[in-house]
Amino acid sequence: MKTIEVGRPVDAAEEALIKEARRRQRRRQFAIGAGVVLALAGGVAALRGTSHPRPPSAHHSTSSPKQLPAKMTGLPMPAGTNLRLLLETATKTGLGQAAWYSTATRQREPIAHLPAANYDFNRVGGGWSVITSRQSSPCAAYQCAGPPRQVYFIADGSLTATRIGAGFWVLASGRDGAVWLVSYPRSTDNIRTTPARIQLVSTTGQPLSPRYRLPAAYLVVGGGVGNYLLLTPVRSRPPYASELWDPRTGQVVRRVDNPFAAGPGQIAWSPGCRGCHAQVLNVSTGKSVAIPIHGGQLSGFFSDDGRLLAMQPVNGDGPLSVFDTQTRALNVIPGTALRFSEAESFSWQNGGHRLIVLAEPGNSFSDTAQLGYWDPGDTRLRVATIRITGGLGVVVTAYPGQ
């Protein structure tokens, strides 16, 4: 399998800082796998912006007779393949700096106008939102909002970030050029009891809507879906049903059980009944289409246009698959089911129809990882091994919120 060197030579002191920063980042990625909502709601997975480590379960453990592999398999990635990837690199202080990396040239280009910080990235229409990570909190267990964090936007392929503003979190709106910015009146507000505020703003920070007040004890995790917002309750006990909420009227238009992906006009959800199939709900028509895959705990991402849905069981019991919402065809990608100790993340490159997959060792701090891609019509993944030097990691799916 082909090896791609990423980065540049670094001295011993800098390498030690990089490795420590990478440890912090991976601890962040594994321990807070679903971000703020997971920590508070007891297992509700955040949509559009989570990594997907596989925790052991009653059906899948280290003692399971089903021994899944530690590495992806597929066809060798063709020489000269140009995957332009977002990379979080490390500065000499151990903080992060964003850059674009080309697998064809093996060069990285720094992205200007971002402060040196640790970041959380989230896929939004036309690019990525970047929010500086929460370094400390005045209250325990993420129960309060904390100080506002700086929010930026990186357009796909752009070498310059633009500042959006400051807030608690930022989410996709379902359209290019706009995001939903979440905030609280005070940094000490308890997010279990204080209603959040949310406003549609442009990716240059211009207000595009009034500032709406969310229902108390709810957070937006799915972002904008059509004219609505997908809300999830902030509670430690069931029920965890999410609500499709109209910000203009303040009314709930539908409740959705176990949503695992949200697109510009669709929600993918998994019924709790045994043997039932996962569903894709079109929010404008109210109609659902069955996905020919059994439900359960799934994670997934829609392409920016909502046509393709990539998904995988959270516990690692099955391979990645892609559902075409127009043709209703399901493509199962062999060689992508890994044991739960490996961290496998995936999303659509620049929101298009090329699926990017990254597999990292879960029990070590190795510099090597596997990178793969799949295009519509392919029967196998194209795979290469990459070695990340002088960097924290490749941003495939977004890192969870802190």
Q: What is the pLDDT of residue 114?
A: 92
Mean pLDDT for all residues in the chain: 79
Strand order in the sheet with 251-256: 218-225, 228-233, 242-246, 251-256
Rounded to a whole number of angstroms, the CA Rg of the chain reads: 20
14-18, 155-159, 343-347 — most confident range: 155-159
Domains in the chain (CATH in brackets) are: 3-60+70-395 (2.130.10.150)
Examine the pLDDT at 379 and tell me if it is beyond 90: yes
- C-alpha triplet 275, 277, 282: angle, nearest 5°: 155
Handedness of CA 180, 184, 188, 190 (dihedral sign): negative
Separation of alpha carbons 273 and 132, rounded Å: 39
Examine the pLDDT at 138 and tell me if it is beyond 50: yes
- Tell me the average pLDDT across 131-146: 71
Examine the pLDDT at 72 and tell me if it is beyond 90: yes
Separation of alpha carbons 136 and 147, rounded Å: 9
Name residues whose C-beta falls within 8 Å of residue 375's C-beta, 6 or more positions apart in sequence: 353, 354, 355
pLDDT band at 135 (very low <50, low <70, confident <90, very high): low
Examine the pLDDT at 125 and tell me if it is beyond 50: yes
Q: What is the pLDDT of residue 31?
A: 28
376 phi, psi to nearest 5 deg:
-55, 135
pLDDT band at 118 (very low <50, low <70, confident <90, very high): confident
Examine the pLDDT at 266 and tell me if it is beyond 80: yes
Lowest mean pLDDT among 154-158, 209-213, 232-236, 381-385: 232-236
Lowest mean pLDDT among 117-121, 189-193, 295-299, 395-399: 395-399
> Bridge partners of 359?
344, 370
pTM for the model stands at 0.83
- Break the chain down into helix, strand, coil percent, rounded to 5: 10, 45, 50
Q: What is the pLDDT of residue 365?
A: 57
17 phi, psi to nearest 5 deg:
-65, -40
Examine the pLDDT at 120 and tell me if it is beyond 80: yes
- Are 312 and 52 a contacting pair, CB within 8 Å? yes
Q: What is the pLDDT of residue 76?
A: 96
- % of the chain at pLDDT higher than 90: 43
- Are 8 and 387 a contacting pair, CB within 8 Å? no
Q: What is the pLDDT of residue 395?
A: 72
Q: What is the pLDDT of residue 10?
A: 45
SS3 130: strand
Express each pLDDT in 200-231 by its tens digit: 999 999 999 999 999 988 888 778 999 999 99
- Tell me the average pLDDT across 354-375: 82
Please, what's the b/e burial string for 74-95 (b: 16 or more CB within 10 A of its CB; e: otherwise)? beebeeebebebbbbbbeeebb
176-190, 288-302, 336-350 — most confident range: 176-190
Pick 36 or 394 by higher pLDDT: 394
Express each pLDDT in 56-70 by its tens digit: 333 344 334 468 888
Q: What is the pLDDT of residue 117?
A: 86
Task: Supply 363's token pair.
Answer: 């029990």
The 3 state secondary structure assigned to 236-289 is CCCCCCEEEEECCCCEEEEEECCEEEECCCEEEECCCCCCCEEEEEECCCCCEE
Separation of alpha carbons 25 and 23, rounded Å: 5
pLDDT band at 141 (very low <50, low <70, confident <90, very high): low
Separation of alpha carbons 27 and 358, rounded Å: 17
pLDDT band at 9 (very low <50, low <70, confident <90, very high): very low
- Tell me the average pLDDT across 326-352: 88
Q: What is the pLDDT of residue 175?
A: 86
pLDDT band at 150 (very low <50, low <70, confident <90, very high): very high
Q: What is the pLDDT of residue 401?
A: 29
- Are 37 and 49 a contacting pair, CB within 8 Å? no
Q: What is the pLDDT of residue 30?
A: 30
